[in-house]
Amino acid sequence: MDYPITPAVRFLREKKVDFTPHLYNYVEKGGTRESARQLGVDEHAVVKTLVFETNEKKPLIVLMHGDREVSTKNLARYLGVKSVEPATPERASKITGYLVGGTSPFGTRSKVPVYAEKTIFDLEKIYINGGKRGFLVAVRPSVLRETLDVKEAEAAV
């Protein structure tokens, strides 16, 4: 299969991670529901990469099940900060080096703390962005722990 060679793919290759590339037709505002539908997988196993900022403008990445939302209140409480809000698309792009819709936690431009919803690690396989719109990679959830300095969080609603 011919797939894009993104910073995320280079990162995974460098770390000798087994991954399966999956291309789909990117649909504006389609999100994880659309990618899961096109790939014929459970949306719960499609993990979205979200960029947030604390009230002190410190960036962080949150990995969340496709069929769940992030409670910013719970996340802020967990982090011990006053508040957390989604980064603007421009800011997210500047922080990660990826376009919104193609944000991957792998191979980001700056080193940013990564928080993963705890239950992601209960899954056998996850589908996570490969660094380009319309491109997911399937990996074992343990890859997150093995390659990123990931912390578990409980912020799903």
pLDDT at 141 over 90: yes
37-96 tens-digit pLDDT: 999 999 999 999 999 999 999 999 999 999 999 999 999 999 999 999 999 999 999 999
The predicted model scores a pTM of 0.96
Task: Classify residue 71 by burial, with Cβ atoms within 10 Å: 0-12, 13-18, 19+.
Answer: middle
Spatial contact of 22 and 137, defined as CB atoms under 8 Å apart:
yes
Rg from Cα positions in the chain: 14
Residue 1 is predicted with a pLDDT of 74
Q: Render pLDDT for 86-136 as a digit per residue (tens, 0 to 9).
A: 999 999 999 999 999 999 999 999 999 999 999 999 999 999 999 999 999
Q: How far apart are CA 27 and CA 110, in angstroms?
A: 27
CA distance 143 to 120: 11
Distances (CA, A) of 2 to 21, 23, 135: 9, 9, 11
